[in-house]
Amino acid sequence: MTEAEQRDFIQKKESKILKGNIAAAYAAKSARVQVISAYPITPQTTVVEKLSEFVDGGLMPGTQYIKVESEHSVMASIVGASIAGTRTFTATSGQGLFYMNEMIHWAAGARLPIVTTLASRGPAPPWNIWADYFDVINARDTGWMSAFCSTHQEIYDEILMSYKVTENPDVMLPKFVAYGGFVLSHTSKPVMIEEQDLVDKFLPPLPDEEGWEHIFIDPERPMMHGNLIMPSGFYMEFRMKIHDAMVRAKEKIKKVAEEFERMFGRSYGNGLVQEYKLDGADVGIVIYGDLALQMEQAVDELRDEGYKVGMLKLRYFRPFPEEDIRKAAKKVKVLGVVDRATAFGSPTGGPVSSEVKSTLHNSGIETKVLPMISGLGGREVTLEQQKDQLKILVKMNETGELPDDLLYGTLWHGKLEVE
Amino acid sequence: MSKPEEEKWKKICKSKEERPKVQEYKNWTELPPIPISLPLDGSMGRTGDWRTFRPVINTSECNKCGICWMYCPEGVIQKNEDGDYEIDLEYCKGCGICATECPTKNIEMKRESEM
């Protein structure tokens, strides 16, 4: 397609006004997923509700929709379907993901390219159903990749990109696509739903009857997997292989983001991170998920006021983009890290700030890091608060001193103060 | 194009005919992405190591009925050229089913430490 043709093509496309959850359902439809297994949980439910409408209405011919009695069974059935050689999809949230936990390990250990969306919510108790990324971060060491979305369009796009990454023969790891419950799942924005033939061209072909290369169900080629390995066997080495695939996935993620931009015209930085006005900045802020969108505006407004601030939007938590973090840290003198999640007892703040700090350790980079925790359990984070977070970093840079109001080295920003 | 170290497991996965008698890997780079067990001799390693009691067939008294061969859950009892039954001690776990089922009581379970 020539550039002019591309432009014409883009202009002919129409966007739909969609809730984040519905955008996720459309993405699964566009990706032609073959097996969906579902159990409802707030705030994810409307993803699988919409998909059941699609399947029932004949809009997803050939797709099997399995209703089960729990999240544990959701993942068990998805693992089975994926072993049989199908493109699979499910969605869950918070406690649902925790209940699924055992099967999540089986999915990663069997190296199955399952994509699961999470309308992330705070963990109970106390009961909470609002935006908080604790659920996806809790699955950190399961062998699943995990990505955060900060816009409705990104939910749709990220799910499409996910299948291209996970089904790469060198990767073959499952992946979570997380977005904030309610803030993204239940609000509406325009979302471009791509032409089916273009999506088909972008994604790898659906697995054929042979199934995946490394795992299949074929009476002609009998095999058993998930077997017992004695301590003298290759158990440790199989874990090394998962780690190796995860780290090497970073290159694939970058390549897929590039291809996505070429084909659909939407850019997501290098795939792993998106820099925003970090060049020439004195202080920067690392942020992820829904909070990143509004932080762009906070950066813009402070830049207009003359503050040299910038931000780095983290798109992936696993694999962790350590090279990009170092590159960003080198550009600034003070780096804040905003977590919408907790890591109780951690000596280095929230889950992402811990990663950032350990990435910078022994790297020769002198940038100061301030861990911040903000917006837990769906607590509203206003534009003014985000500007304040940036100003705290600016002040830290000017005075060279940490803010006073820290709890064991971490700034819990936006605490309630009742008069 | 697959890397040379991947050729080994890809062959095992693709074709039943090309499967080797025993799955053997030198190091982690040669391993398949997941642990797989194939219906081959010794897919669990040399299970003869597990044995506490060894079945010993009294060949001169054996009537060659083949009941031990039929009952052996591991398929390690075979008839040799002379028509006698032999047990592959590399893989016999010493469960003793053959000795229990032998109608002429000509298989004795002997403690390995006494062999």
pLDDT at B10: 82
Task: Say if residue A174 is in the same domain as residue A237.
Answer: yes
pLDDT at A224: 85
Please give the Cα distance from A282 to A178 (Å, whole number): 30
Task: Say if residue B99 is in the same domain as residue B56.
Answer: yes
Does any CB of chain A come closer than 8 Å to the CB of residue B21? no
Q: How many domains does chain B have?
A: 2
Please give the Cα distance from A148 to A316 (Å, whole number): 6
* DSSP label at residue A142: G
- Which of A220, A224, A245 lies at the smallest CB-CB distance from B36? A224
Whether A112 is covered by a domain: the verdict is yes
Task: Say if residue A115 is in the same domain as residue A173.
Answer: yes
pLDDT at position A1 over 60: no
Nearest by Cα to A325 from A250, A400, A258: A250
Whether A419 is covered by a domain: the verdict is no
Task: Say if residue B29 is in the same domain as residue B4.
Answer: yes
Contacts of A234 in chain B (CB under 8 A): 25, 28, 31, 35
pLDDT at position A9 over 80: no
Task: Say if residue A258 is in the same domain as residue A277.
Answer: no
For residue B38, give the chain A residue with the closest CA: A223
Task: Say if residue B75 is in the same domain as residue B62.
Answer: yes
Residue A37 near residue A66 (C-beta atoms within 8 A): yes
Tell me whether residues B28 and A223 touch, CB distance under 8 A.
Answer: no
Residues of the domain holding B67: 47-114
Task: Say if residue B106 is in the same domain as residue B75.
Answer: yes
Closest Cα in chain A, distance from residue B102 (Å):
32
Task: Say if residue B69 is in the same domain as residue B98.
Answer: yes
Residue A177 near residue A144 (C-beta atoms within 8 A): no
Task: Say if residue A255 is in the same domain as residue A333.
Answer: no
Tell me whether residues A237 and B34 touch, CB distance under 8 A.
Answer: no
Whole-model pTM?
0.87
For residue A224, give the chain B residue with the closest CA: B37
Task: Say if residue A249 is in the same domain as residue A298.
Answer: no
- Which of A227, A228, A234 lies at the smallest CB-CB distance from B25? A234
Question: What's the average model confidence in pLDDT over A44-53?
Answer: 97
CA A148 to the chain's CA centroid = 3
Task: Say if residue B28 is in the same domain as residue B66.
Answer: no
Does any CB of chain A come closer than 8 Å to the CB of residue B14? yes
Residues of the domain holding A404: 273-413
pLDDT at B51: 95
Tell me whether residues B39 and A237 touch, CB distance under 8 A.
Answer: no
Task: Say if residue A277 is in the same domain as residue A148.
Answer: no
Does any CB of chain A come closer than 8 Å to the CB of residue B16? yes
CA A157 to the chain's CA centroid = 12
Tell me whether residues A225 and B27 touch, CB distance under 8 A.
Answer: no
Closest Cα in chain A, distance from residue B4 (Å):
14
Tell me whether residues B34 and A223 touch, CB distance under 8 A.
Answer: no
Question: What's the average model confidence in pLDDT over A209-217?
Answer: 91
pLDDT at position A105 over 90: yes
pLDDT at A416: 93
pLDDT at A4: 58
pLDDT digit string, tens, across residues A234-267: 999 999 999 999 999 999 999 999 999 999 999 9
Last residue of a domain, one of A264, A283, A314: A264
Whether A328 is covered by a domain: the verdict is yes
Task: Say if residue B52 is in the same domain as residue B99.
Answer: yes
Q: How many CB pairs under 8 A join A and B?
A: 61
Contacts of A225 in chain B (CB under 8 A): 34-37
Task: Say if residue B32 is in the same domain as residue B57.
Answer: no
Q: How many domains does chain A have?
A: 2
Please give the Cα distance from A29 to A117 (Å, whole number): 14
Interfacial B residues in 27-56 facing A (CB < 8 Å) = 27-28, 31-39, 44-45
Last residue of a domain, one of A231, A264, A297: A264
Tell me whether residues A213 and B34 touch, CB distance under 8 A.
Answer: no
Task: Say if residue B53 is in the same domain as residue B101.
Answer: yes
Residue B39 near residue B72 (C-beta atoms within 8 A): no
pLDDT at A112: 98
Burial track B25-45 (b if 16+ CB lie within 10 A, e otherwise): eeeeebbbbbbbbbeeeeeee
**Domain CATH code at residue A373:** 3.40.50.920
pLDDT at B65: 95
pLDDT at position A146 over 60: yes
Task: Say if residue A256 is in the same domain as residue A312.
Answer: no
* Residue A2 pLDDT grade (very low, low, confident, very high; cuts 50, 70, 90): low
Contacts of B44 in chain A (CB under 8 A): 227-228
Task: Say if residue B59 is in the same domain as residue B90.
Answer: yes
Task: Say if residue A317 is in the same domain as residue A221.
Answer: no
Q: Which tokens go with A365?
A: 């980079």
Side chain identity, residue B15: S
Whether A1 is covered by a domain: the verdict is no
pLDDT at A223: 85
Task: Say if residue A233 is in the same domain as residue A297.
Answer: no
Whether A5 is covered by a domain: the verdict is no
Mean pLDDT of chain A: 95
Closest Cα in chain A, distance from residue B68 (Å):
26
Whether A3 is covered by a domain: the verdict is no
Q: Which tokens go with A412?
A: 């819990």
pLDDT at A219: 86
For residue A217, give the chain B residue with the closest CA: B13
* Residue A6 pLDDT grade (very low, low, confident, very high; cuts 50, 70, 90): low
pLDDT at A100: 97
Tell me whether residues B45 and A233 touch, CB distance under 8 A.
Answer: yes
For residue B18, give the chain A residue with the closest CA: A221
* Residue A10 pLDDT grade (very low, low, confident, very high; cuts 50, 70, 90): low
Task: Say if residue A332 is in the same domain as residue A237.
Answer: no
* Residue A115 pLDDT grade (very low, low, confident, very high; cuts 50, 70, 90): very high
Tell me whether residues A223 and B37 touch, CB distance under 8 A.
Answer: yes
Contacts of B30 in chain A (CB under 8 A): none
Spatial neighbors of A114 by CB under 8 A, at least 6 apart, are A78, A79, A82, A88, A89, A90, A107, A166, A174, A175
Task: Say if residue A200 is in the same domain as residue A300.
Answer: no
Contacts of A213 in chain B (CB under 8 A): 10, 13
Residue B103 near residue B45 (C-beta atoms within 8 A): no
Task: Say if residue B13 is in the same domain as residue B58.
Answer: no
Please give the Cα distance from A186 to A184 (Å, whole number): 6
Does any CB of chain B come closer than 8 Å to the CB of residue A404? no
Whether A132 is covered by a domain: the verdict is yes
Instruction: Write down the ipTM of this complex.
Output: 0.83
Tell me whether residues B38 and A223 touch, CB distance under 8 A.
Answer: yes
- Which of A223, A225, A241 lies at the smallest CB-CB distance from B28? A241
Last residue of a domain, one of A264, A288, A312: A264
**Domain CATH code at residue B87:** 3.30.70.20
Q: Identify the residue among A170, A214, A236, A240 best suited for mutation to test binding to B, counting B beta carbons within 10 A and taking the highest.
A: A214
Residue A174 near residue A108 (C-beta atoms within 8 A): yes
Nearest by Cα to B59 from B112, B115, B107: B107
Does any CB of chain A come closer than 8 Å to the CB of residue B70? no
Contacts of A227 in chain B (CB under 8 A): 35-37, 44
- Which of A214, A224, A240 lies at the smallest CB-CB distance from B28? A240
Tell me whether residues A245 and B28 touch, CB distance under 8 A.
Answer: no
Whether A360 is covered by a domain: the verdict is yes
Averaged pLDDT, groups of 10, chain B, 115 residues long: 73 73 84 85 79 96 95 94 94 96 96 91
pLDDT at B17: 74
**Domain CATH code at residue A152:** 3.40.50.970
Closest Cα in chain A, distance from residue B94 (Å):
19
Task: Say if residue A180 is in the same domain as residue A255.
Answer: yes
